[in-house]
């Protein structure tokens, strides 16, 4: 596998190219994954843990074995990531210094429909991607895709360090709404366990 495919994540990109006709420096994010694994201010820790428990309880009550009988609308975080005042250029500089590569274009949509995302950046390494949307050069949201199940990646160190450095610099925590689990970004071992899961 050549180094470009290794950094960008060969299999994921090949699938994207076939289905959505993207080049190696472009990425597609299904709309359902928007902020599904997100970085949020550490001050929300108790709120996030309470919300994760509510979602688990709701899922148990509304599971019919094949799916769910109702939809849960999660509560908004009390303190938004935008309130941290994270400047896009500082965030980007840090991420790139750790080996992540900025995607030229980000697309989203569903089915065969896709559109270019405005004011949204993505930074990838071996299929693991940081996404952020922003306004006037300040980040509103940061979310991830492709970080889990990377136990065979040659870039686990970079992924771990990226999450650790972002968490440390801006006092953020990771909440995975799919797992209903919060990951402490102050703990490199916890980050690595999450990535290698």
Tell me, what DSSP letter sits at residue 124? E
Q: Is the pLDDT of residue 182 over 70?
A: yes
**Predicted TM-score of the model (pTM):** 0.83
pLDDT, residue 67, reads 67
- In angstroms and rounded to an integer, the radius of gyration of the C-alpha atoms of the chain is 17
Q: Specify the DSSP element, H or E, that contains 144.
A: strand 138-145
With a pLDDT cut of 70, the percent of the chain lying above it is 86
129 closest CA partner among 6, 8, 3: 8
Q: Summarize the confidence of residues 156-185 as an average pLDDT.
A: 95
Q: Which two tokens stand for residue 180?
A: 């209903």
Check if the beta carbon of residue 185 is closer than 8 Å to that of residue 174.
Answer: yes
Q: Where are the domains of the chain?
A: 3-61+76-196
Per-residue pLDDT tens over the stretch 106-159: 998 877 778 999 999 999 999 899 999 999 999 999 999 999 988 788 999 999
């Amino acid at each position: 596998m050549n180094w470009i495919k290794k950094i960008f994540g060969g299999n994921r990109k090949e699938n994207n190219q076939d289905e959505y006709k993207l080049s190696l420096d472009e990425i597609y994010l299904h709309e359902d994954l928007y902020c599904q694994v997100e970085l949020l201010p550490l001050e929300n820790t108790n709120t996030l843990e309470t919300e994760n428990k509510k979602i688990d309880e709701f899922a148990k009550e509304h599971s019919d074995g094949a799916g769910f009988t109702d939809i849960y609308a999660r509560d908004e975080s009390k303190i938004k990531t935008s309130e941290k005042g994270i400047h896009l250029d500082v965030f980007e500089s840090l991420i790139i210094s750790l080996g992540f590569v900025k995607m030229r274009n980000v697309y989203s949509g569903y089915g065969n429909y896709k559109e270019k995302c405005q004011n949204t950046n993505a930074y990838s390494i071996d299929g693991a991607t940081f996404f952020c949307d922003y306004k006037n050069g300040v980040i509103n949201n940061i979310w991830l895709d492709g970080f889990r199940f990377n136990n065979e990646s040659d870039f686990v160190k970079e992924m771990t360090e990226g999450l650790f450095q972002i968490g440390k610099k801006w006092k953020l925590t990771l909440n995975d709404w799919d797992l209903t689990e919060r990951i402490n970004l102050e703990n490199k071992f916890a980050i690595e366990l999450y990535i290698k899961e």
